Amino acid sequence: LQSAHACVQDILKRGKLPMFVGGTPMYLKGVLRGFDAGPPADEAFRNAVEEDLQQHGISALRERLQQVDPLSAAKIDAGDSRRMIRALEFARATGTPISHRQLQFDSARSSDDGLVFALRVPRPILHQRIETRVDEMFAEGLVAEVQGLLALDQPLSKTSRQAVGYREIIEAIAADDAPETAAEQVVFHTRRLARRQETWLRSFSEIRGLGSFEANSAPDIDQCVETMVETILSFGR
């Protein structure tokens, strides 16, 4: 975030308007409201919790988090084991629940105070686009890409192995299944990720929505761009 804000200041000094495009909702929220990075990762602790997760399931993980940080347990999505483990790790390392530290996220502002746009696509259309995109990824060699990465001398990082698309193929290979059979799981997990992102986006008071989650058709991109340009040019007048 420090690097991001340094880039913003540099761009502003040159008389230009910085633009952030893409990225995860959490990073966006961090840029807008600040972010407490917390302690570094404790891989030994994470591995131990992952083993417990595999043995006892995600419900047991949530119950464990409820004992340590009930507020985080209530906020974190029921299937988001990664954030639950991070919350446990944070509390263990600092002695303070993560929900008591990352209070910057509660500092909401009005959408009129900034220029933050999000494209809202109806869920049925989004699901169809996800299916089409996954089909294209497999057709264009995703399996071969993963197999090539696994064959490298430098092993894939744990984070890379957990990425949607990679994880499912790696698990299929480990189970001696045809890697191509992982496509259905990639679609399923991508849809679930999209739902979590929608939830994040709905929580951003700073965002000006383009299109609608409830509409029956995809948003008109040309109209969305025109709205963005008009809003940017008139901002602060």
The gap from C-alpha 83 to its chain's centroid, in whole angstroms, comes to: 11
pLDDT of 236 over the 70 cut: no
Query: Do 151 and 164 belong to one domain?
Result: yes
Q: Has this prediction a pTM greater than 0.75?
A: no
Give the total number of structural domains in the chain: 2
Report the CATH number that the domain containing residue 168 is assigned in CATH: 1.10.287.890
Q: Would you say residue 185 has pLDDT above 90? A: yes
Q: Containing domain of residue 235, as a range?
A: 108-237
- pLDDT tier, 34 (very low <50, low <70, confident <90, very high otherwise): confident
CATH classification at residue 8: 1.10.20.140
- pLDDT band at residue 18 under the 50/70/90 scheme: confident
pLDDT tens digits, one per residue of 143-172: 999 999 999 999 888 889 989 999 999 999
**What is the rounded distance in angstroms from the CA atom of residue 24 to the CA atom of residue 83?**
14
Query: Residue 104: what pLDDT?
Result: 67
Rounded Cα distance, 151 and 127, in Å? 33
Is the alpha carbon torsion for 124, 125, 128, 134 positive or negative? negative
User: For residue 82, what are the contacts with CB-CB under 8 A and spacing of at least 6?
Assistant: 162
On whether both 135 and 90 belong to a single domain, the answer is: no
